[in-house]
Amino acid sequence: MKRQSGLTLIELLIAIAIMAVLAILASTLLGSSLENQKHLKQSSRSLEDLGLSLTLVRRDLEQMLNRVGRDQYGEKQLAPLLSFAEGDQFLLEFTRDGRRLLPGEQFASSLERIRYAIEENKLIRYSAAVPDPAANTEWRKQALLDNIEAINFGFLNEGKWERQWPPESTGLNTSPVALPRAVSLRIETRQWGVVELLALVAGGGNVSP
């Protein structure tokens, strides 16, 4: 009597179990691969945003003008660059050149008033299309970096770094150096750790006119 060839019920169940395990492993690997790809895309996009933001900050500082502005009440400010203490509304305020003129702005100025601030752990850039903003001036608000834990500026003056500008040693009754020779920026972020930037200031080291 010939023996019939084929799979027994036990062999079939074992084959099905092996195929199920392989399917689960393949699904897990595919899901992990897709998740890693998504994470890499997010990190790449975040790194690109970081580079663009730092480039904008550097450009602002490098194009800073030796020009003492006026506040919203028309009063002349102390220096072309102003830094503020921790807890104040803004970090820096200054005037820069090089603003791109939009269509229809033939008679507009290329000068721009810039303010930097920290709001809800985000580095915020404020810009006004006039060098001396008034109380009703419209400011453009742009969020640059988020998840900031700490931020510090440094100002190179006569071979040493100052923590504020104008330097404390200048005093209110003297003619301060208008602009530092360079500005450093140190940012502590949750995602990227410590990020540092150094910008050379055109015309830095000269006295206010």
Number of C-alpha atoms within 13 angstroms, CB side, residue 34? 6
Token look-up 């209110």 returns: 172
Tell me which of 71 and 196 has the higher pLDDT: 196
Residues 47, 51, 56, 62, CA torsion sign: positive
Give the pLDDT mean for 24-36. 79
Least confident of 16-20, 61-65, 148-152, 197-201: 16-20
- How far apart CA 66 and CA 73 sit, in angstroms, is 21
- Tell me which of 97 and 177 has the higher pLDDT: 97
pLDDT, tens digit (0-9, with 9 covering 90-100), for 62-87: 999 998 888 878 888 888 999 998 77
Residue for token pair 């006295």: 207
Least confident of 53-57, 97-101, 140-144: 97-101
Give Cα separations from 126 to 32, 59, 138 (angstroms): 41, 14, 10
Residue 172 has pLDDT above 50, yes or no: no
- Predicted local confidence at residue 105, as pLDDT: 58
Task: Quote the pTM value.
Answer: 0.75
For residue 5, the model assigns a pLDDT of 58
Length of the chain: 209
- Measuring CA to CA, which residue among 191, 181, 123 is closest to residue 152? 123
What mean pLDDT, rounded, does the chain reach?
83
* pLDDT at residue 116 tops 90: yes
Better pLDDT: 2 or 156:
156
pLDDT, average across residues 126-139: 90
How far apart are the C-alpha atoms of 154 and 122, rounded to whole Å?
Answer: 19
Instruction: Choose the weakest-confidence range: 21-25, 121-125, 183-187.
Output: 21-25
